[in-house]
Every structure is written in structure tokens, then in C-alpha cells.
Structure 1
């Protein structure tokens, strides 16, 4: 049975909140414990984020699809796989949840709840990196869902873990994440001036992935579930 919109938006809110609590909270902890070693801090931040992402997709995917990302929800709406009204509700839930998660991380580490980041992430290389990161993320989701939906949680988590390191921007790849991280002057932050260019790059990357989806994974090549011995199954029931 399909979950109600209220249940789905609650799942998106909670998932986005825990994701940002993990991103920001692990960044704060890593910066405290790494002794100034930025590589070690980023590694710790990466592992915590990827682990949390895998768990959140596993538990919330059956309810809302576990988007936690406006770029994903918009792509699904453009494909006709969800109603635009529902996509709007998802976007609001994702942004509210992400900001709530940032505030929760600040509270857990006894920091001021409302902050504005001073970490500059700006320039063409950063924007291109965000486009690439989001393009790859959407391809990962499209490919896994077309061939083996059960692999989406590890596939997405592993992709994000890798993209933290191969992109110059450390792979935000998510407009809600970008907005929320601007409200944290910590290891994971981004100065507000960088938010709009990041989001535009992310949407461009998502659009490029969406354009390639039908070519790479045609509907007529998508495996269909097999019905094995329906007579025996119906008799057993």
C-alpha cells in the first residue's frame, strides 16, 4: 500500500535531518580530534556521512523513496514518476529537515544554533565539480533502480564516499544540503555567497543525467519480475 503524502514527507524530513546531523556533527567532531590534519578530518566526515546515508535509504526507501535531495525529487517529477504537488512537498520537507539537522548538530556540540559559514567555496572549478558530482549521483540512482533496486543504498553511499574525495567541492550534490550547510560555520560549511552557484550547478548536473537516462537504461530493457509457479502459490494461499 502506498504511504500517504504526510507519511512520505515526514520520512523525507527525518531523513534529511539525520543526514545533515551526520554531515555537520561528524565534521565538528573530526575537526576537534584530527589535530589540524584536514585529510584525517575529511576521511572521518566521509565515513560518517556515507554510513548514515546507507542506513537512512534502507529504512526510509519503502516509505518515501528516500530522496533527501531536491534534485532527485525534481528529476522524478520531470519523468512523471511523482506528482509535481508531491515533489513540492518533498522539497519543503527536505530543506526544513536539513536545516533542523544542522541546528541539532550545533546543539549537541554546544554551539550557537544559528550561524553563517565563512568557508569560501567559490569559482568555476567548484561549480563544475558540483555539476559532475550531481550528474554522477543521479546516474548512480537511475542505474541501480533500473537494474537492481536493492543495491541503491550501498551504491549511493559508496558513490558519495568516493565523490567526497574526487571532486574539488567535496560533493554536496544536493540543494537542501547546500542551503543547510551555509548555516553552519564549522568544518562542513559553505559561505552563503556560494549557495546559489552551487545549486545552479547541481541542477545542471541533474538535468544532464536525466537527459541520458532513457538512452542508457531503456524501459524495454529493464528486467521484469518473474512469476514463479503461480498455481502453487495461489493454492498455498
Structure 2
């Protein structure tokens, strides 16, 4: 990649920050506008899917638009990003995400520093997060294999769907989970519940990498086929 590391890190921090500001801010707005939890969730879902399409489209050419430590881990394991750069990406994502939460609070005139009291724990929640992260990473890898130009839409649509078919509402992202622990609003997660979520997200992402590596591999006979001399 021809973009220098500092600009890539700013892109990752900015993208993750805007993503989290969208998740938290739309959650606050939805919660204020309706007492219907299902409608509030829809109001949280649609902006999140939409902003992912925008962010991946405009920042993907700069940093790859990971915005997610689990995605960065997968690309590091695939040796598509160096270990030092991957560590810097993760730091930028976490910092950017937390700043996004604080900005959302400021926009809605809420206390800037908060800690969530929303309980999100248990085996069903952890399984949901593993499934969410698996689907996200598999979508990215399959998109890279077959339709790289469609990745912004594929990811945005996947997350929009996963909000509704997973019990956890699809965090699927350790940096976003950490950032959401700093808001005691609709989108929050209790800090004590972070370890289970983060472990499940990383596990789902690595499993997706392994499955995709086998399922999406080019068949050996296709590589070995040669025209007759």
C-alpha cells in the first residue's frame, strides 16, 4: 500500500470514531423519539449500515477500512499487514472509537464521561457475537475473492441484517465494544461484560478466516491446468 502509516492510522481512527458516533448517536436519538424498543433498534440499525457503506468507500483506499481489531488480526494472520502496523491499527481503532462515543455525548448534551450499566453477558450473547464476527469476516474475505468493488455494500448490508438476527445486536468489533462501554445509553455495554464479547469476536473472526481459507481457495487442478503444447 502506497499510503504512509501515519495517514493510515488517522483513517482508521477517524473511521472508527465516526462509526461509533453513529452507533451511539443514533441510539440516543432513537431512544428519545420512541418508547418502542423495536422501532428504536431499527433507528439504530439503519444509520449504522449506511455509515459503513460510506466509510468503507471513502477510507478503504487509504487504510483498507478495517475499523475493527478482529479484522486487523485476520489480515495480520494472513500476512497482509505487518505485526507492528497491526498493533498501531488496533490502538488507533480503540482510541478513535472512544472519542466517537464522547463526541456523541457532547452532541446530545449528555455527561461526556459515562460507564454503561447495560448487562450483556451469558453463553447466548457470546455465541451471538462469535456468529456476528464470523459472518462479518467471512463477508469481507468472500467479497475480496469475488467482488471487491461491492465490499462497502456487502459489509453495510451484513451488519444491518446481523443487528436483527443475533441476540447481541451484532457488535462484531472489539473496538466498538470497548467504546460502547463508555456510554450509559441505548447502545451501551457494561464494562465487566467486555471480556466475553471481545473473546467471542476474536474467536469468530479467526474461525471465519480458517473456513474462508479452505472454502474460497482456488482449486489446485485449476492452477495446474496448462494448454496443450
**What range describes the TM-score normalised by the shorter chain of this pair?**
over 0.9
Distance 1:112 1:220 in 2: 56
Distance 1:136 1:148 in 2: 16
Secondary structure of 1:67 counterpart: coil
Distance 2:207 2:108 in 1: 39
Please, which runs of 5 or more residues in structure 2 have no aligned partner?
221-229
How many equivalent residue pairs? 220
Q: How far apart are 1:219 and its partner, in Å?
A: 4.5
Deviations 1:8-66 (A, max 9, x none): 000000000000000000000000001x1000000010001111111000000000000
When structure 1 is superposed on structure 2, of 164-173 and 210-219 the one drifting more is 210-219
1:74 and 2:73 equivalent? yes
Determine the structure 1 residue equivalent to 2:99.
100
- RMSD over equivalenced CA pairs, Å: 1.0
Distance 1:200 1:123 in 2: 13
Distance 2:212 2:170 in 1: 21
Q: How far apart are 1:195 and its partner, in Å?
A: 0.4
Distance 2:215 2:142 in 1: 8
- Aligned ranges for residues 195-214 of structure 1 at < 5 Å? 195-214=194-213
TM-score scaled by length of structure 1? 0.91
Q: How far apart are 1:216 and its partner, in Å?
A: 1.3
Determine the structure 2 residue equivalent to 1:28.
28
Distance 2:104 2:205 in 1: 28
Structure 1 runs, 4 residues or longer, greater than 4 Å off:
none
TM-score scaled by length of structure 2? 0.94
Distance 2:125 2:76 in 1: 27
